[in-house]
Amino acid sequence: MELRHIRYFIAVAEERNFTRAAARLGIGQPPLSAQIKDLEAEIGTQLFHRVAHGAELTEAGTAFLTAVKSLPDEAAAAIHAARRAARGETGQLSVGLTGTAALNPLFPAAIRSFRRSYPDVELRIVEANSVVLLSSLVEGRLDVAILRPAESDPEDLREERLIDEPLVAALPAAHPAASRRTGLDLATLSDEPFILTPRSVGTSLHDAALAACRAVGFEPRLGQPAPQIASILSLVAAEFGVSLVPASLAELNVPGVVFRRLRAPEPRVGLVVAYRKHRPPPLALNFAKVARAARAMAEI
């Protein structure tokens, strides 16, 4: 039994006439009659009484109509739902982000734009360090993520660069360099302990800070490591040392911490949207498209 058999049956039942039903369906009357006979043969009972003025439902036909009359609409709704899902317009999207990415204006801009464009998608936001996010993407626990890239990132992920964000110095408020308003020479911090995330949990930001120091001629002295950006800033405020952080964090009002731009050329750290290369979910592709569009509103 095919769906067309159901549609043909319903048309005849509603029109009570094979000729009018055939015209409604856009087929000839003889093929319609043949299809109804095939349906009756498959069910094993007569569905219509053929009468002079048309067709009347048998008791079996009435029962059959009650059971199947909603099927064409349900099938159409199912097709519509499947097509929307294939276009990435419905379902649940799991989005990962690092702590510093969450504070960049790009992230709320992307989320806001995505929710407006795809209101029927349920968003699940997961914050974690880059190492956890990368493994979650590879293993399918996340669909897409906004994170800081590193050369060691898995090859089976696609990373689309969104922005390159300047690094700024985070200094204790009492630090002598905190009073300077012009670009800070990073080399003046060569004797300070640097508070950074361990490389095992924040490869990109850790490596970018080391590279920035080496580029101006010194090897940084690593101080107390801190796993999250909040703990880094807390340790800076407590005068454990200094740090290099993305410029978007300078918008934060952290008591005891001042942020200073560095003298040109400023070191930078990237921000990408990442998802699986092989058969990425349509929702992830849609989010990446929205994130690319949102970056114009969030560039620093």
Query: How do residues 139-179 score in pLDDT, each as one tens digit?
Result: 999 999 999 998 888 999 999 999 999 999 999 999 998 88
Is the C-alpha dihedral spanning 201, 205, 211, 213 positive or negative? negative
Q: Yes or no: is domain 87-161+271-298 CATH 3.40.50.300? A: no
Flag whether pLDDT at 115 surpasses 50.
yes
Write the DSSP string, 246-284: EGGGGGS--TTEEEEEBPSSPPEEEEEEEEESSS--HHH
Within the chain, which residue ranges are assigned CATH 1.10.10.10? Answer: 3-82
Within the chain, which residue ranges are assigned CATH 3.40.190.10? Answer: 87-161+271-298
CA angle 247, 250, 251 (to 5 degrees): 120
Q: Cβ(145)–Cβ(154) under 8 Å?
A: no
Structure token pair of residue 25: 């369906």
What is the model's pTM?
0.76
Give every CB contact of residue 174 below 8 A, 6+ residues apart in sequence.
Answer: 239
Architecture of domain 164-268: 3-Layer(aba) Sandwich (3.40)
CA angle 87, 91, 93 (to 5 degrees): 95
- The matching CATH number, chosen from 3.60.40.10, 1.10.10.10, 1.10.10.60, 3.30.70.270, for 3-82 is 1.10.10.10
Tens-digit pLDDT profile for residues 212-261? 999 999 999 999 999 888 899 999 999 999 999 999 888 888 999 999 99
Q: Cβ(186)–Cβ(265) under 8 Å?
A: no
